[in-house]
């Protein structure tokens, strides 16, 4: 693990992103673009009730339509497949692709209709008659947490999937010693990343080879393993094609239920089968909602603003089935004190089932909601003490000279320079002028506020929350891999062993391999083998690919380089250590050299000339272990993620008190993710993350009515930020390299999103503070803001206009 000392040739330079070229001409290859001969199409029959017993399903009228091949019910499917995987040990929370016996949320799939065309399948789905007997249901997380609530899974006995309290450090002593305490509740509403491409999957079964070919819009660790387990097939009977472009994911594209369903149908019918969600299926039953979380926080602090300790209770509503969602309460443990030197923490993580759509991983894996709670705490302490919100953060920040820094929950932060980033942001923004502008707006009768958020982006994830929350889980690696092949003509091909959804992994690998081999990255071909030809990957989750795929590519390229040096040194009769690799040529101390083509030729054709014991050819691979990912949890503590990027948001918001619509007048973010491999990509991640955060803070919510029906089922009522809502964002760059990675890089795939909801909330609360209002729930929709302002009082009434 060595940081590169010399100046880089390609890393951190302003190079184009190679993937862009195929997308700008419409030549991406998305799952919906895959047309197989004889392919059949699926449409779903959806439940009308949040909880009901399925009394009967009559598919006769559907099957009577010419071109309809199958109506599959849960009762039939359950005989053929194993339940989908749960992260926690909750065996009685059984989940299948279709409802079995009972529906547990409105919209849940009750039957799958297979027909010659999607249109015909939809027609037929309307002819399937399902008779229900309504059951009791629960929507609210607090209610679900009570012992008397109706269990979503009666066999499980309650709605509680996880209820674990961690105590790291001397919480009670610090609370007793502290000068003051405060308590508050904030709520993170149910939203998601909702990619513009819905989830889709195509599967085709070859009974003679016993292979299921799968093409999917997927971003999921161990996807093919999970399909194999559920379909009761050997792992090497599942071939997932990873050269499918994914039209956005940001965590949620994990359609395992869709994939098992379609895989089963393809086998049963002997025809290729495809399921592409329509938008309603996607939003209502794609099982891709994000966290919905209630935080109750107590903070103990001194009169000088130093925060001593924190107690946080996080109650998360995962919806009707468990899946991997409860782990989203575990990942934030790796940065539970944010960038602050809080000495001790008590953390109660509660995960409950309700009769809502199933939760899936969302960008940040639970970290953005937690950051919103932590940053609200810091703002509240400042408000209580009458201290400046930036000054209080400075006082609590870990200092640059204190890294590596061990936090109470067991993670060591690798590096950072928070004070400098803040200084740079304030200088860039002209903080005094920003304050003056806020006050000028206020003087004009506007509500105006400044928002501040500082937070971390833990990156390079090794999934340590799994063993931390589940004693039976012994995961201590979350590897990724790269293979490099130099062909006999001397051109280089490298591999990516996962699908990508816009993160530019081909550019990442080409840049890093080009850097190590000192050849033009544009001349390197990048391919994506299918899973049967692949090395292990854990897919682009947890802001990990710059660290893990970049690291694997770097190490694999070093092996190629070392072999080339060894071949050339042997051929020229000099010790390896005196041979020097420069731009693909190996030079000796006395001025001789052997060129790339000659070395390659020797490796491929002249075994007699190779050093003794060396294998022929020129290829290498590297399976990379997560830096720091070694130990299992001990005493409820674990090293969660290896690297920790930092971001500091500073924004100005203005609200016309009559309209209640927040307008972001200025958005500045300081961002430090160590060495940036491609500046365009990192910038795009940050800007896009802020847009997501804006949606979560102001617009987006999967809202339910009291009857358990999802109200926001289309883009007419689930509002996405458009180019009118997302402001110009100014990024202030800083680089504190990680000592743990090959180039000093850290993750950036979740940047912006992790702090922007907190910053926007802080700004709006600053704006309405003069009215004595606190907004404690996201999203803060225009209607909520205008109602609260109107209720608060007499700034200006309708009659005065």
Partner 1 sequence: MSVELKVNGRAVTVDVEPRTTLLDCVRDELGLKGTHAGCEHGVCGACTVLLDGQPTRSCLMFAVQADGYEITTIEGVAPQAGELDVIQDAFCEAHGLQCGFCTSGMILAARSLLEREASPTVEDIREAISGNICRCTGYGQIIEAIQLAAERMRGQNAPASPSLSRTEAVR
Rounded Cα distance between 695 and 718, Å, is: 10
Rounded Cα distance between 481 and 625, Å, is: 9
Residues 6+ apart with CB under 8 A from 472: 89
Rounded Cα distance between 263 and 202, Å, is: 8
Rounded Cα distance between 556 and 620, Å, is: 6
Q: For residue 195, state whether it binds partner 1 (rule: CB under 8 A).
A: yes
The interaxial angle of helices 431-443 and 418-429, nearest 10 deg, is 50
Q: For partner 1, which residue of 155, 722, 799, 801 counts as binding (CB under 8 A)?
A: 722
Whichever of 163 and 278 has its CB closer to partner 1, that residue is 278
Rounded to a whole number of angstroms, the distance between the first and last alpha carbons of the chain is 66
Contact string (CB under 8 A) for partner 1, positions 581-620, x = contact: --xxx---------xxx-----------------------
Provide the phi-psi class of 349: left if phi over 0, else alpha when psi is between -120 and 50, else beta.
beta
Q: With H, G, I as helix, E, B as strand and everything else as coil, classify residue 551.
A: helix
Rounded Cα distance between 367 and 68, Å, is: 45
Q: Residue 446 Cβ, how far from partner 1 at the closest point, in Å?
A: 21
Contact string (CB under 8 A) for partner 1, positions 500-529, x = contact: -xxxx--------------xx-xx------
The burial class, CB within 10 Å (0-12 / 13-18 / 19+), for 445 is exposed
Q: For partner 1, which residue of 10, 11, 19, 421 counts as binding (CB under 8 A)?
A: 19
Q: For residue 488, state whether it binds partner 1 (rule: CB under 8 A).
A: no
Residues 6+ apart with CB under 8 A from 703: 190, 710, 711, 712
Q: Residue 727 Cβ, how far from partner 1 at the closest point, in Å?
A: 9
Q: For partner 1, which residue of 11, 12, 17, 624 counts as binding (CB under 8 A)?
A: 17
Q: Given the rule CB under 8 A, which of 262-270, 321-329, 434-442, 683-691 is the region that contacts partner 1?
A: 683-691
Q: Given the rule CB under 8 A, which of 272-280, 399-407, 539-547, 668-676 is the region that contacts partner 1?
A: 272-280
Query: How many other CB atoms are there within 10 angstroms of residue 149's CB atom?
Result: 21
Whichever of 36 and 75 has its CB closer to partner 1, that residue is 36
* Segment (H or E) for 61: helix 60-63
| CB 98 within 8 Å of CB 72 | yes
Q: Residue 346 Cβ, how far from partner 1 at the closest point, in Å?
A: 36
| CB 17 within 8 Å of CB 507 | yes
Q: Residue 721 Cβ, how far from partner 1 at the closest point, in Å?
A: 8
Whichever of 85 and 719 has its CB closer to partner 1, that residue is 719
Based on its alpha-carbon atoms, the radius of gyration of the chain, rounded to whole angstroms, reads 28
Whichever of 336 and 691 has its CB closer to partner 1, that residue is 691
Whichever of 196 and 801 has its CB closer to partner 1, that residue is 196
Q: Residue 521 Cβ, how far from partner 1 at the closest point, in Å?
A: 10
Three-state SS letters, 422-445:
HHHHHHHHCHHHHHHHHHHHHHCC
Residues 6+ apart with CB under 8 A from 57: 45, 71, 73, 75, 110, 111, 128, 129, 130, 131
Handedness of CA 470, 472, 476, 478 (dihedral sign): negative
Q: With H, G, I as helix, E, B as strand and everything else as coil, classify residue 552.
A: helix
Q: For partner 1, which residue of 67, 83, 684, 708 counts as binding (CB under 8 A)?
A: 684
The residue count for binding partner 1 (CB under 8 A) is 73
Q: With H, G, I as helix, E, B as strand and everything else as coil, classify residue 699.
A: helix
Q: Residue 692 Cβ, how far from partner 1 at the closest point, in Å?
A: 7
DSSP annotation of 51: S
Q: For partner 1, which residue of 9, 28, 532, 795 counts as binding (CB under 8 A)?
A: 28
How far is residue 738 CA from its own chain's centroid? 21
Whichever of 268 and 719 has its CB closer to partner 1, that residue is 719
Whichever of 395 and 680 has its CB closer to partner 1, that residue is 680
Q: For partner 1, which residue of 58, 278, 615, 707 counts as binding (CB under 8 A)?
A: 278
Q: Residue 54 Cβ, how far from partner 1 at the closest point, in Å?
A: 29
Q: For partner 1, which residue of 88, 152, 246, 789 counts as binding (CB under 8 A)?
A: 246
| CB 646 within 8 Å of CB 421 | yes
Q: For partner 1, which residue of 1, 716, 791, 794 counts as binding (CB under 8 A)?
A: 716
Residues 559-588 that bind partner 1 (CB under 8 A): 583-585
Q: With H, G, I as helix, E, B as strand and everything else as coil, classify residue 300.
A: strand
Q: With H, G, I as helix, E, B as strand and everything else as coil, classify residue 518.
A: coil
Q: Residue 209 Cβ, how far from partner 1 at the closest point, in Å?
A: 28
Q: Residue 440 Cβ, how far from partner 1 at the closest point, in Å?
A: 23
Query: How many other CB atoms are there within 10 angstroms of residue 489's CB atom?
Result: 9
Residues 40-69 that bind partner 1 (CB under 8 A): none
Q: For partner 1, which residue of 432, 728, 799, 800 counts as binding (CB under 8 A)?
A: 728
Q: Residue 707 Cβ, how far from partner 1 at the closest point, in Å?
A: 24
Residues 301-360 that bind partner 1 (CB under 8 A): none
Whichever of 740 and 760 has its CB closer to partner 1, that residue is 760
Q: Rounded to the nearest 10 degrees, how much is the dihedral formed by the CA atoms of 607, 611, 613, 618?
A: -60
Whichever of 283 and 320 has its CB closer to partner 1, that residue is 283
Rounded Cα distance between 52 and 267, Å, is: 30
| CB 530 within 8 Å of CB 239 | yes
Whichever of 50 and 688 has its CB closer to partner 1, that residue is 688
Q: Given the rule CB under 8 A, which of 165-173, 287-295, 471-479, 709-717 is the region that contacts partner 1?
A: 709-717
Q: For residue 185, state whether it binds partner 1 (rule: CB under 8 A).
A: no
Q: For partner 1, which residue of 3, 4, 32, 75 counts as binding (CB under 8 A)?
A: 32
Q: For residue 691, state whether it binds partner 1 (rule: CB under 8 A).
A: yes
Q: For residue 27, state whether it binds partner 1 (rule: CB under 8 A).
A: yes
Whichever of 58 and 583 has its CB closer to partner 1, that residue is 583
Rounded Cα distance between 171 and 167, Å, is: 7
* Segment (H or E) for 419: helix 418-429
Whichever of 194 and 238 has its CB closer to partner 1, that residue is 194
Q: For residue 243, state whether it binds partner 1 (rule: CB under 8 A).
A: no
Q: Given the rule CB under 8 A, which of 141-149, 488-496, 574-582, 621-629 is the region that contacts partner 1?
A: 488-496
Residues 661-680 that bind partner 1 (CB under 8 A): 680
Contact string (CB under 8 A) for partner 1, positions 382-421, x = contact: ----------------------------------------
Residues 6+ apart with CB under 8 A from 446: 654, 655, 656, 657
Q: For partner 1, which residue of 533, 578, 606, 714 counts as binding (CB under 8 A)?
A: 714
Residues 98-157 that bind partner 1 (CB under 8 A): 119
Whichever of 22 and 592 has its CB closer to partner 1, that residue is 22
* Segment (H or E) for 181: strand 180-188
Q: For partner 1, which residue of 286, 461, 629, 752 counts as binding (CB under 8 A)?
A: 752
Q: Residue 723 Cβ, how far from partner 1 at the closest point, in Å?
A: 4
Q: For residue 251, state whether it binds partner 1 (rule: CB under 8 A).
A: no
The burial class, CB within 10 Å (0-12 / 13-18 / 19+), for 793 is exposed
């Amino acid at each position: 693990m060595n940081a590169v000392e010399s100046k880089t040739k390609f890393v951190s330079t302003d190079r184009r992103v190679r993937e862009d070229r195929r997308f700008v001409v419409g030549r991406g290859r998305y799952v919906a673009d895959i047309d197989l001969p004889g392919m059949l199409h699926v449409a779903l029959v959806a439940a009308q009730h949040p909880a009901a017993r399925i009394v009967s399903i009559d598919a006769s009228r559907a099957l009577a339509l010419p071109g309809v091949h199958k109506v599959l019910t849960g009762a039939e499917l359950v005989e053929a497949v194993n339940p989908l995987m749960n992260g926690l040990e909750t065996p009685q929370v059984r989940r299948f692709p279709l409802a079995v016996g009972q529906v547990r949320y409105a919209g849940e799939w009750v039957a799958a209709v297979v027909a010659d065309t999607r249109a015909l399948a939809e027609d037929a789905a309307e002819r399937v008659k399902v008779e229900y007997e309504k059951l009791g249901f629960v929507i609210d997380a607090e209610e679900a947490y009570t012992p008397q609530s109706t269990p979503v899974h009666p066999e499980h006995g309650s709605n509680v999937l996880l209820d674990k309290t961690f105590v790291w450090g001397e919480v009670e002593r610090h609370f007793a010693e502290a000068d003051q305490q405060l308590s508050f509740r904030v709520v993170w509403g149910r939203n998601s990343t909702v990619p513009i491409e819905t989830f889709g999957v195509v599967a085709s079964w070859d009974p003679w080879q016993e292979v299921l070919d799968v093409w999917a819009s997927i971003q999921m660790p161990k996807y093919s393993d999970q399909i194999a387990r559920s379909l009761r097939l050997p792992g090497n009977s599942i071939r997932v094609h990873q050269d499918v472009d994914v039209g956005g994911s940001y965590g949620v594209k994990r359609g395992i239920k869709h994939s098992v369903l379609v895989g089963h149908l393809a086998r049963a019918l002997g025809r290729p089968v495809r399921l592409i969600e329509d938008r309603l299926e996607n939003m209502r039953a794609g099982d891709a909602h994000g966290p919905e979380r209630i935080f109750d926080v107590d903070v103990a602090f001194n009169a000088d603003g130093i925060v001593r300790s924190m107690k946080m209770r996080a109650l998360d509503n995962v919806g009707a089935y468990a899946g991997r969602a409860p782990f989203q309460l575990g990942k934030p443990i790796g940065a539970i004190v944010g960038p602050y030197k809080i000495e001790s923490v008590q953390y109660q993580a509660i995960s409950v089932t309700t009769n809502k759509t199933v939760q899936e991983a969302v960008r940040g894996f639970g970290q953005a909601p937690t950051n919103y709670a932590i940053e609200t705490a810091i703002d509240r302490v400042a408000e209580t003490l009458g201290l400046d919100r930036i000054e209080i953060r400075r006082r609590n920040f870990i200092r640059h000279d204190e890294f590596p820094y061990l936090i109470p929950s067991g993670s060591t932060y690798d590096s950072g320079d928070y004070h400098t980033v803040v200084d740079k942001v304030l200088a860039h923004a002209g903080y005094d002028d920003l304050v003056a502008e806020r006050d000028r707006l206020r003087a004009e009768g506007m509500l105006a506020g400044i928002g501040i958020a500082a937070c971390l982006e833990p990156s390079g994830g090794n999934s340590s929350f799994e063993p931390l929350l589940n004693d039976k889980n012994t995961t201590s690696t979350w590897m990724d891999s790269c293979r490099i092949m130099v062909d006999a003509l001397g051109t280089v091909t490298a591999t990516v062993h996962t699908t990508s959804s816009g993160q530019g992994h081909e550019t990442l690998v080409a840049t890093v391999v080009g850097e190590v081999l000192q050849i033009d990255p544009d001349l390197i071909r990048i391919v994506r083998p299918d899973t049967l030809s692949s090395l292990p990957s854990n897919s682009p989750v947890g802001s990990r690919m710059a660290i893990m795929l970049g690291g694997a590519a770097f190490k694999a390229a070093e092996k190629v380089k070392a072999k080339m040096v060894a071949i050339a040194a042997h051929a020229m009769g000099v010790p390896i250590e005196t041979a020097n690799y420069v731009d693909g040529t190996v030079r000796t101390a006395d001025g001789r050299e052997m060129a790339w083509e000659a070395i390659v030729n020797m490796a491929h054709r002249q075994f007699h000339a190779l050093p003794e014991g060396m294998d022929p050819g020129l290829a290498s691979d590297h399976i990379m272990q997560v830096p720091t990912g070694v130990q299992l949890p001990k005493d409820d503590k674990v090293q969660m993620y290896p690297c920790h990027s930092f971001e500091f948001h500073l924004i100005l918001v203005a609200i016309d008190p009559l309209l209640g619509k927040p307008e972001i007048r200025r958005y500045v973010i300081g961002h430090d993710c160590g060495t940036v491999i491609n500046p365009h990509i990192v910038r795009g991640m940050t800007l896009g993350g802020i847009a997501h955060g804006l949606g979560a803070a102001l617009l987006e919510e999967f809202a339910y009515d009291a009857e358990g029906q999802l109200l926001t089922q289309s883009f007419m009522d689930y509002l996405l930020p458009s180019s009118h809502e997302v402001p110009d964002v100014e990024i202030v760059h800083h680089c504190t390299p990680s000592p743990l990675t090959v180039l000093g890089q850290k993750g950036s795939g979740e940047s912006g999103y992790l702090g922007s909801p907190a910053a926007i909330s802080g700004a709006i609360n600053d704006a309405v503070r003069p009215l004595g209002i606190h907004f404690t729930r996201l999203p803060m929709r225009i209607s909520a803001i205008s109602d609260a302002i109107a209720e608060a009082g007499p700034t200006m009434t309708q009659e005065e206009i």
